[in-house]
Amino acid sequence: MRPVIGVISDVKTINGQNTHGVTEKYIYAVARGAQAMPVLIPGTISAVDAAMAPERVVIEEILDLVDGIFLPGSPSNVGPQHYGDLPHDPPLPADPHRDDISLPLIKAALERGVPLFGVCRGFQEMNVALGGTLFQKLYQQPGRFDHREDSSLDLDGQYAPAHDVALAPGGLLASLAGADRWRVNSLHGQGVAQLAPAVEIEAQAEDGTIEAFRVPNTPGFNIAIQWHPEWRFWEDKLSSGVFTAFGTAARLYGEARRGAPKLKAAV
């Protein structure tokens, strides 16, 4: 039986209606790369009738259903109010429905030991959920590269390797890569300003931008990666290795948790 991986959905308004979904490349990477069953987790569900309250989400109920949580990338950004900053004028793309689910879910998953893997926006969500902050426009910071993709290129060009990262000696990524440096793609406009406390850097770009971290001293597998390992993961040793490790951790967690009763706490 394949492990069940909950994949956090984006919430977008299409033709006047809220739509919950995930770009297929992330679903495919979870299904094939992690050898798991991806199940989409919606963001906050709004009340259709003004007389009704929004749907209450019970984080522990979600964690009772899955063997792992995957936080995919997105064109939207974590709301700056979650890390004590003010929005830009004009505001940058946001997704408060996703924030409402992902931020408490991250903390609960880490506490319980549910395997957790965040990519791009998911990386940034993990940093914010744990007490870190973000540069809303990383490319405007002195000494930082422009880590955004070139929108004039096709997808293969946008997702092509763009710069090296130094992998932390003895870290998870270095062990999977069998190397101390790796060439990665780069498609992000935001980045870590202040790293959350009690986390360990796994990878860093030459301009000082933190590109991956892990939360040690927690009971389960976890990794946060700023670049996009889901893109053609089968062509890259490190990308395929991290999805395989995530799937293995989820499988072992699922085998261990079967039948264990859980308490439920609403948020």
Model pTM above 0.75: yes
Q: Evaluate whether residue 31 is within a structural domain.
A: yes
Q: In a 3-state reduction of DSSP, which class is residue 114?
A: coil
- Report how far Cα 42 is from the mean position of its chain's Cα atoms: 15
For residue 132, the model assigns a pLDDT of 98
CATH number at residue 30: 3.40.50.880
DSSP-derived 3-state class of residue 169: coil
Is 263 part of a structural domain of the chain?
Answer: no
In a domain, 125, yes or no: yes
* CB contact at 8 A, 139 and 147: yes
Q: How many structural domains compose the chain?
A: 1
Burial of 92 (0-12, 13-18, 19+ CB in 10 A): middle
Inside any domain, residue 16: yes
Q: Residue 262: inside a domain, yes or no?
A: no
Evaluate whether residue 162 is within a structural domain.
yes
- What pLDDT was estimated at residue 258? 81
pLDDT score at 237: 98
Q: What is the pLDDT of residues 189-214, one digit of tens each?
A: 999 999 999 999 999 999 999 999 99
pLDDT at position 124 is 98
Task: Render pLDDT for 234-261 as a digit per residue (tens, 0 to 9).
Answer: 999 999 999 999 999 999 999 998 865 4
Distances (CA, A) of 109 to 98, 106, 117, 185, 220: 16, 5, 11, 28, 9
Structural domain harbouring 80: 4-257
3-state secondary structure of 125: helix
Q: Which residues are catalytic?
A: 120, 228, 230
- Residues in a beta bridge with 225: 119, 212
218 with 115: CB under 8 angstroms? no
- Asked whether residue 266 is assigned to any structural domain, the reply reads no
Q: Which two tokens stand for residue 55?
A: 């749907």
Name residues of the chain where pLDDT drops below 50. 261-263, 265-267
Residues 6 or more apart whose Cβ sits within 8 Å of residue 187:
73, 120, 147, 148, 149, 158, 159, 227, 228
pLDDT of the residue at 58:
83
- Paired with 191 in beta bridges are 135
Residue 264 resides in a domain: no
Structure confidence at residue 44 (pLDDT): 86
Instruction: Return the pLDDT at 1.
Output: 84
Query: Where are the alpha helices (H) located in the chain, listed in sequence order?
Result: 24-28, 59-65, 96-112, 121-129, 155-158, 172-177, 237-257
